[in-house]
Amino acid sequence: MSTKGTTDTQVLVIGSGPTGLLLAGDLAAAGIDVTLVERRPHGLANMTRAFGVHARTLEQLDARDLADELVATGTPLGSARLFGRADLDLTRLPSRFNHLLVTPQYEVERLLERRAVTAGVTFRYGTELRTLSQDADTVTAEFTDADGTPLTLTARHLVGADGVRSTVRSALGLPFPGGSVIRSIVLADVRLAEEPADSFSVNGSGDAFAFIAPFGDGWFRVMGWSRTRQVPDTEPVDLEEIRELTRRALGTDLGMHDARWISRFHSDERQAPSYRVGRVFLAGDAAHVHSPAGGQGMNTGLQDAANLSWKLTAVLRGDAPDPEALLDSYQSERHPVGAMVLRTSGALVRLAMAHTPLTRTLRSLAARFLSAARPAATRAMGMISGIGIAYAPPAGSARPAGRRAPDARLREGRLYELLRAGEFVLIAPEGRPPALPGSAPVSPDRLVRATWRDPARRTSVLVRPDGYVHWTSN
């Protein structure tokens, strides 16, 4: 079994954005010694700012007892309108969280940071990773602190959650292929004189589009794009530009005023070919980046973290029968999801920008198809919300292994309440505990054991700490 041994810490996590905070908090809660290194000084806000938390992310937060508190900070939206006409009814999602929660990214980070501190993560703010190297047992990372003093730390594993310009990715020599998908997007957080008719609406003539989403505390996020104003990110943007663009896209600017934040940015579409090189991993924006359409970036990073944390824990505890295969499954499970997110957010943004007769026809067809074909809309909602994402079954297992475990009612409570222990949950019929498969990366004394509430259920199910089915008895 690997222990802290001669390294300074068991896991070094680089970057305290949402991805790094969730990962470090999970590891520390499982008793792993973890150091989180962040180049920002303590208290300086992270400026990459998501505002939508999807259903599957809320389920992951529920499994950490954070979801109800987060939901109280935001506005749940039960529907999303695409291309001005296709309404996706999120209330049909088979989840306790059948909505999109509009809340600022800093609320998510505040809760995750509090949890990480309570769990015992060692934070090192104002410390920047410069480079790293690794051998068969150890990763060695070189940093400079705020006054330029060099620092070396060693660990059993290192995770780069250091965002789109990841130093970890560069130090590994990994490419980040792709390109720019959309330039000169403007955004502002504003107050409105009139409430929008649609709480979340995307509209557009092909020359301009905009959408407005409520934070629920009187502030609204407006985001827009104009084909006729394509300028570098450094070009100043004022509220009048955003008002004018919104009028063109939506027909009204809803009397927006008092912007507290205005910004212009561009968006790339890129993915690292490998999320693992030896003892080093990439997660979140360090591994993939795409357009903000669909609000997927932070959500995908949090799911990466939830997938990786229990695997690193099992390996460091010595509970994994095949540690290499378990760590490789992070790549085989999460890389295809990242690729899918690039495709869907890319399709959404390209259709929103459509301006040739052919592409506008395609947009109109896509909107009509999603409005008329319920299975297609359900599938689209499943992918965007994360609820429909499933992994390939582990070798030797059949479906439903790899699928998301729904929040079953058990004698001991809801499944996602039991997952708060951060361990595998074995659900079995009363009085019939099954023999666990030898391949399960868990020690029997750490299992949370539960019983179906419904006595008619005869199968046993082993649920992973991230809420996916690992194995069923038949």
Q: Which of 159, 298, 383, 408 binds ligand FAD (CB under 6 A)?
A: 298
Selected binder of ligand FAD within 2, 8, 31, 49 (CB under 6 A): 49
Assess 9 for contact with ligand FAD (CB under 6 A): no
| β pairing state of 469-472 and 409-410 | unpaired
Q: What's the maximum distance between 2 C-alpha atoms anywhere in the chain?
A: 69
Q: Is residue 428 within 8 Å of 304, Cβ to Cβ?
A: no
Residue 155 or 463 with smaller CB distance to ligand FAD: 155
Contact between 14 and ligand FAD (CB under 6 A)?
Answer: yes
Binding mask 129-148 for ligand FAD (x = CB under 6 A): x-------------------
Q: Is 76 near ligand FAD (CB under 6 A)?
A: no
Q: Which residue is it, tokens 């997938």? A: 307
Does 402 sit near ligand FAD (CB under 6 A)? no
Residue 48 interacting with ligand FAD (CB under 6 A):
yes
Q: Do residues 261 and 220 touch, judged by C-beta distance below 8 A?
A: no
Name the segment binding ligand FAD (CB under 6 A); options: 37-45, 254-262, 322-330, 397-405. Answer: 37-45
23, 55, 88, 161: residue in contact with ligand FAD (rule CB under 6 A): 161
Which SS3 state, helix, strand or coil, does residue 446 take? helix
How far apart (Å, rounded) are the C-alpha atoms in residues 68 and 70? Answer: 5
295 binds ligand FAD per the rule CB under 6 A: yes
Amino acid letter for position 28? A
Min dist. Cβ of residue 345 to ligand FAD (A): 10
- Choose which of 74, 76, 214, 301 interacts with ligand FAD (CB under 6 A): 301
User: If you write DSSP's letter for every residue of 177-218 in order, what string do you get?
Assistant: -EEEEEEEEEEEEEE-SS--SSSSB-EE-SSEEEEEEE-SSS
Told to check if 299 binds ligand FAD by CB under 6 A, we report yes
51 binds ligand FAD (CB under 6 A): yes
Cβ burial 36-49 (10 Å sphere, 16+ → b, else e): bbbbbeeeeebebb
Q: Exposed e or buried b for every residue in 419-457, given b needs 16+ CB within 10 A?
A: bbebbbbbbbbeeeebebeebbbbeeeebbebbbeeeee
- Residue 234's identity, in one-letter code, is T
Q: Are 310 and 26 in contact (CB under 8 A)?
A: yes
- Taking the C-alpha atoms of residue 275 and residue 335, their distance in angstroms, rounded to an integer, is 7
Angle of CA points 39, 25, 384, to nearest 5°: 90
End-to-end CA distance of the chain: 32
Of 175, 145, 171, residue with least CA distance to 158:
171
Does residue 327 belong to the site contacting ligand FAD (CB under 6 A)?
no
Residue 170 contacts ligand FAD per CB under 6 A? no
Q: At closest approach, how far in Å is the CB of 15 from ligand FAD? A: 3
Q: Considering only residues 36, 37, 90, 448, which one is a binding residue for ligand FAD as defined by CB under 6 A?
A: 37
Contact yes or no for 400/469 (Cβ under 8 A):
yes
Nearest C-alpha neighbor of 21 from the set 419, 311, 271, 309: 309
Cβ atoms of 165 and 19 within 8 Å: the answer is: no
Site for ligand FAD (CB under 6 A): which residue of 7, 11, 20, 107? Answer: 20
Contact between 128 and ligand FAD (CB under 6 A)?
yes
* Closer CB to ligand FAD, 61 or 463, in the complex: 61
Q: Which of 2, 31, 40, 433 binds ligand FAD (CB under 6 A)?
A: 40
* Closer by beta carbon to ligand FAD, 12 or else 469: 12
Single-letter residue type at 354: A
Our finding on whether 17 is near ligand FAD (CB under 6 A) is yes
Q: Which is nearer to ligand FAD, 127 or 329 (CB)?
A: 127
Comparing CB distances to ligand FAD, the nearer of 162 and 466 is 162
Compute the least distance from the CB of residue 40 to ligand FAD, in Å.
5
What track of x and - describes contact with ligand FAD for positions 77 through 116 (by CB under 6 A)? ----------------------------x-----------
Chain residues binding ligand FAD by CB under 6 A are 14-20, 37-40, 46, 48-52, 105, 128-129, 161-163, 167, 187, 265, 284-285, 292, 295-299, 301
